[in-house]
Structure 1
């Protein structure tokens, strides 16, 4: 008779580690974001984005045809800097 014992904590740890690796891989695949991705990544509405930082000269944006595109890595860096600059309530 074969008996198998599984350490649930270890399985959970391995699962979360693999999940994090996959999410990082997906993030690396995106070279730029569109407005829908920017809204999703920031959890902000388009009106709030425009009001808070869209017109900041440091915010990286390019209009291609009628569509706004945002370089993913530069955008992430800007957003983290911008967030740190916000007053803490």
Structure 2
């Protein structure tokens, strides 16, 4: 048996691998987001990378921003909040 017959050549389409990786990452992120039905204020601050004061000064009182106060705590429906935040951000100068 010669050394040449033991060689294997693998060709990888890097752009295809990148597309597959992006798709899988999107699926994983969707799975993570689907674990939550709503966020509390701590999670909202984490997801927006904003302080509570900044949130209140920028979008908290926007009529389009859905929120529910239960007892003394605010809750925000995940899907609607994400959609609102994406729209709100695109409107910023």
Structure 1 unmatched ranges of 5 or more = none
Structure 2 SS opposite 1:30: coil
**Equivalent residue of 1:54, what SS?**
coil
Please list every run of at least 4 consecutive aligned residues from structure 1 whose deviation after the TM superposition is greater than 3 angstroms: 9-20
TM superposition shift of 1:26: 1.1
TM-score, scaled relative to structure 2: 0.72
TM-score, normalisation: structure 1: 0.75
Task: Give the corresponding residue for 1:73.
Answer: 79
Aligned-residue offset at 1:15: 6.5
TM-aligned CA deviation for residue 23 of structure 1: 2.3
Q: Which blocks of at least 5 consecutive residues in structure 2 are unaligned?
A: 1-9
The separation in 1 between residues aligned to 2:17 and 2:56, in whole angstroms, is 44
User: Which of the residues 25, 50, 55 maps onto 1:44?
Assistant: 50
* Separation (CA, whole Å) in 2 of partners of 1:12 and 1:20: 12
Pick which of 16-25 and 40-49 moved more. Answer: 16-25
In the TM superposition, residue 84 of structure 1 has moved relative to its aligned partner by 1.1
Q: Secondary structure at the match of 2:76?
A: strand
